[in-house]
Amino acid sequence: MLLLAHRGASADAPENTLAAFQEAVTQGADGVELDAMVCGSGEVVVCHDEHLERLAGLPWEVRTTSWWKLKGADVGSRLGFAPARIPLLEEVLDALPAHFLVNIELKCDHFDDGGLAAKVARLVSERRLAERVIISSFNPVCLLRTAAAAPSLRRGFLIDPDKRWGPQAHGLVPLVSSHSVHPYYEQCTPERVEAWRERGLRVAVWTVDDARRARALKEMGVSYLITNRPRAVREALR
């Protein structure tokens, strides 16, 4: 089971920043999970929230705010860390070591993704990173657009625990997932994991910091464990 640092090692550094991704490397993670969205001037930025109130105390909406303005926001201090800024996806990909797995979650709740799927697919393809990138999303349309832009990219559908299980697990996963399925950890049972594996899908579970839970998921056959604390979970699994 590979450990992916959730938004970087976000328990010990400001989430989705270069500091958090470097901390994931330091803590011995196998890779990272990150959030990608298009900002107002068209660049792909790494950020989870649609608005910056929680991260920076600012009322800005990411998808309508230009990059030159976004990069001035401090998204570290309000989380209890040193000041930090929102990075571009290309900056993160360039900063990570060559062996790192990268789970890029496409963040878009709208039908029009502003070119997000195509831009991410092009960036990953241009950098020849397809063998170590997984594209995931709660939005099935984003994954269909990814498939159209770059059919060989590995795709995984994120199952929303607040929506009905059946249509997602039995309808959307077979339709849009080529590599993996990404359930919330409480949705995992040995029977479900085995069924996914029999269909050739890897299971990427989010977000687990508890050692006992991590061991149970490993025994089920989960392939990727997304965690805020990669070092602590690694030590517990040993």
The verdict on domain 2-237 having CATH code 3.30.230.10 is no
pLDDT for 176: 98
**Among the options 48, 99, 179, 182, which is catalytic?**
48
Contact status, residue 130 vs residue 155, Cβ threshold 8 Å: no
Which pLDDT score is estimated for 110? Answer: 87
Share of the chain above pLDDT 70, in %: 100
Nearest to 69 by CA among 86, 92, 49: 86
- Put residue 160 in one of left, alpha, beta given phi > 0 → left and psi -120 to 50 → alpha: beta
Closest-CA residue to 137 (of 35, 44, 216): 35
**Helix 116-126 vs helix 140-149: angle between axes, to the nearest 10 degrees?**
40
Q: Quick check: is 6 catalytic?
A: yes
pLDDT of residue 238: 87
Strand 2-6, strand 31-38: pairing: parallel
Point out the catalytic residue in the list 6, 99, 170, 179.
Answer: 6
Write out pLDDT tens, residues 20-37.
999 999 999 999 999 999
Active site residue 182: no
Give pLDDT tens digits for 35-59: 999 999 999 999 999 999 999 999 9
What pTM was estimated for this model as a whole?
0.98
Q: How confident is the model at residue 179 (pLDDT cuts 50, 70, 90)?
A: very high
> Which band of pLDDT confidence, cut at 50, 70 and 90, is reported for residue 165?
very high
Q: Would you state the pLDDT for residue 11?
A: 97
Per-residue pLDDT, 222: 98
pLDDT, tens only, 183-202 = 999 999 999 999 999 999 99
